[in-house]
Each structure stands twice: as C-alpha cells, then as structure tokens.
C-alpha cells in the first residue's frame, strides 16, 4: 500500500512522537525509505521539536551581558575610587591652604588635622586607581577586540 506524501506528512508528528499504530509506523518507514522529501520533512520536524527553549546562542548572549556588566561594574568602581580619591586629595590641600600651617621657631611644621599626610595618601590612592584604571581599560580593549 503506497500512501501519498501528504498523508505521510500528516502522520509524521505522530510517528515522531511514537503515538501512531505499529502498522502506520511501518507504512511511514516504508515510505521514508523511498521518499527523500518526506525524510527531509521528518528532519525539519525533529529540528523544530528538539530546539531547546533557551538556545546556546541565547545563553551565550546572557553570559556576555553578565560578563560585560561585571566589567562595567569594575570599571565604574575604579573610576569612582579614582574620582573620590582625587576629590579628597584636593579637599585636603584646599583645607590645608585655608587653615594654614605654622612653622615653629625650631623648624617643625605644625598643621591641624594632619591634612598633608592625608592629602598625600589620597594622591597615592588616586595614582594607584589611575594605574588600575589604565591597566584595566587596556585589558578590556584587548578582550573586546
Ligand atoms: Zn513522501
């Protein structure tokens, strides 16, 4: 008994899900042995049904986004620490200039609130974060190339 391709194609989903009768399966297999077009149709069916809900591509996109987000977070942290330390250093030096310092007759510098060492500390932090930022951005550029 030879069935038309149309009939076979109607039965293919049932055949694929193995819910059709044994007799139908045999008929379909018989047809598939001779008809490459219906084999292709079955392949298409398999492809569409076996496609996972989240494709590998989508997972990759999400991974890329989260990686980028992590990088951005780190970059903004570095930029933030750079900015804050620069600002703090500036504030320290301005405050120092406003308050002023006394130099005692014996040559020792007396300044309130230890603004100079703190100011230099912030300058140091600023330089460190500047270097980190520079290195990070360089790496980042290489990664995205
Ligand atoms: Zn066919």
Q: What's the CA gap between 145 and 140, in Å, rounded?
A: 9
> Could you tell me which residues are beta bridge partners of residue 109?
103
Query: What pLDDT is recorded for position 33?
Result: 94
Q: What's the CA gap between 29 and 32, in Å, rounded?
A: 5
Query: What pLDDT is recorded for position 69?
Result: 83
What does DSSP assign to residue 105?
Answer: T
Q: How far is the CA of 10 from the centre of ligand 1 (A)?
A: 11
Query: What pLDDT is recorded for position 143?
Result: 59
In this prediction, the residues of the chain whose per-residue pLDDT falls under 50 are: none
Q: How far is the CA of 24 from the centre of ligand 1 (A)?
A: 14
Query: What pLDDT is recorded for position 34?
Result: 92
> Could you tell me which residues are beta bridge partners of residue 137?
none
> Could you tell me which residues are beta bridge partners of residue 103?
109
Q: How far is the CA of 13 from the centre of ligand 1 (A)?
A: 14
Q: How far is the CA of 111 from the centre of ligand 1 (A)?
A: 95
Q: How far is the CA of 40 from the centre of ligand 1 (A)?
A: 9
Q: How far is the CA of 51 from the centre of ligand 1 (A)?
A: 24
Q: CA 124 → CA 37, 52, 85, 133, 136, distances in Å? A: 73, 53, 8, 14, 18
Query: What pLDDT is recorded for position 22?
Result: 92
Query: What pLDDT is recorded for position 53?
Result: 62
């Amino acid at each position: 008994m030879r069935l038309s391709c149309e009939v076979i194609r109607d039965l293919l989903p049932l055949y694929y899900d193995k819910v059709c009768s044994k007799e139908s399966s045999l008929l379909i297999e018989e047809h598939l042995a001779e008809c490459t077009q219906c084999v292709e149709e079955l392949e298409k069916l398999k492809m569409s049904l076996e496609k996972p809900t989240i494709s590998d591509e989508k997972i990759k996109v999400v991974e890329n986004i989260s990686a980028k987000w992590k990088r951005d977070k780190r970059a903004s942290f570095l930029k933030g620490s750079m900015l804050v330390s620069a600002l703090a250093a500036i504030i320290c030096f301005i405050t120092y200039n406003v308050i002023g310092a006394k130099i005692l007759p014996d040559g020792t510098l007396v300044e309130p609130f230890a603004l100079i060492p703190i100011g230099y500390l912030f300058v140091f932090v600023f330089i460190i974060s500047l270097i980190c930022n520079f290195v990070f951005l360089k790496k980042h550029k290489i990664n995205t190339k």
